[in-house]
Structure 1
Amino acid sequence: MAIHRKFLKSNKKDRTFINRDIRAKEVRVIDPEGNQSGILQIHQALAMANDHGLDLVEVSPNARPPVCKIMDYGRYKYEQTKKKQEAKKKQSTVQVKEIKVRPKTGEHDLQTKIGHITKFIGNKDKVKVTVMFRGREITLSQQGRDVLSKIAESVNEIATVESYPKFEGRTMIMILAPK
C-alpha cells in the first residue's frame, strides 16, 4: 500500500486535473472560444463546462487562482503528445566518438584515423582524440602533442578544436567539433 501511495505522489506533478479532480475552490475560466469568463466558483465552472458538453481542464495549476479551460480533454491530451513528439524530432543528439592513437603511431595508420575522424565530423559528431602513453612512453609527451597538432591541421577545414590537448593521467586528450 505504501508503494502505491508513493507512486501517486510522484505522478502528481505531471498529472493534468480535469472536472471534479480540480481541488481549488475558485478558478479563472477560459471558455471554448478562448475568451476569459473571469474567476468563478468551481461548481459554477463545472456547470458551465457541462452546458458546453466539454471538460473543465486545469491548464495552469500554479497560477493563483488556477487557470482552467473548457475543452475536449481527449483532444487536449492528443495535442500535448504531438507537441512532445515535435520537440523530440527537433532535438539533435550530438555523440562524442573516440579515436585512440599512440605517440609512435605510423604515418599510414594516422591517415586511416584521420579518415575516420573526417567521417565522424561529416556526421556532425564530436571527436575525442586520445593519445595513450604506456610505461616509459610518458616521456614522449612532445611527440603526443605533435601527433594531435598533425591531426588538428589535417581536419582544420571541417572541424575546430573545441578542447586543446591536455593531460588526464597517462593520456592526452583533444576534442574536435564540426564547424
Structure 2
Amino acid sequence: MSTTRPLRVNERIRVPEVRLIDETGHHLGIVRTAEALRLARERGLDLVEVQPNASPPVCRIMDYGKYRYEESRRERESRKRQKTIEVKEIRLRPRIDTHDLETKVRQIQQFLTDGAKVKVTVLFRGREIVYQDLGERVLQRVIDLLGPRAVVEQPPHAEGRTLVMFLAPGHVEVTRTVSSEEREAEGQ
C-alpha cells in the first residue's frame, strides 16, 4: 500500500465545511460537511478528504474502495518498472599473473553483459603499497582487455590500501549475420 498518510473518509471528516468536488470533477463550492456526506450517500459513493491542509479542506465524492485499488495497482506497476542496478566486485592483486587476469576479465565481462556495474579493486598487502604503479597498470590492462564492452564510470583512485575503479556496461555494435536464404534473395 501507499506510504502516505491515509485519507479521512465519510464520518471521519470532522470539519464543519468543505470545498466539494463531485465524481465527475465539477466544483460544487463550499458546503457543510453533513450536506456533502448526504450527497455522497445518495450517489452510493464515499466522501473523501483529498486536501486536508487547504482552508476549507477539499473533499471529493468517489468510490473509495476503487480508488485504493487503483492506487495500489499504480504503485505495484511503478515498483516493477524500477530497475535496481547491481554492483559486483572483482578483487585483484598488483602482481596477478596473465592467465589469472584474463580469467577475472572474463568474469567482469559476464557481469557487464548481465547489466551489472563492476567495482574492480586492486588490494595491496604490506610493502606492495609502494608499487601503486603496478596496480594502475593492472587496471589499465583490464580496461584494454574489455575494450568497448565496458565504460569507465569512475577512473582508478586510491582508497586506503586499495585502488578502486568502477565499470559500467558499454555499447557494443551488434553485427547482423546474413543467412544463405537472404543472400540468394538479394542475388535475384
Q: TM-score range by the shorter chain?
A: 0.7 to 0.9
Question: Any gaps of 5 or more consecutive residues in structure 2?
Answer: 171-188
* One of 94, 103, 107 as aligned partner of 2:85: 94
Aligned amino acid, residue 34 of structure 1: G
Task: Give 1:28 shift.
Answer: 2.1
**In the alignment, which residue of structure 2 is the partner of 1:5?**
none
Shift of 1:42: 1.4
Q: Deviations over 1:50-99 (max 9, x none)?
A: 11111111223333333221111111110010010011011010111100
Q: Does 1:50 align with 2:34?
A: no
RMSD (Å), alpha carbons: 1.6
Runs of 4+ in 1 over 6 A off after TM superposition: none
For residues 93 and 62 of structure 1, the distance between their equivalents in structure 2, rounded to whole angstroms, comes to 35
When normalised by structure 1's length, the TM-score is 0.87
Higher deviation after alignment, 145-154 or 77-86: 145-154
**Structure 1 residue 150: Cα displacement:** 1.1
Aligned to 2:144: 153
CA distance in 1, matches of 2:81, 2:98: 41
Name the structure 1 match of 2:64: 73
Secondary structure at the counterpart of residue 96 of structure 2: coil
Structure 2 CA distance, aligned partners of 1:107 and 1:130? 17
CA distance in 2, matches of 1:145, 1:160: 17
Equivalence for 2:114: 123
Cα distance, 1:26 vs. partner? Answer: 2.3
Aligned to 2:181: none
Determine what percentage of the aligned residue pairs are the same residue: 48
When the two structures are superposed, what TM-score results if normalisation uses the length of structure 2? 0.83
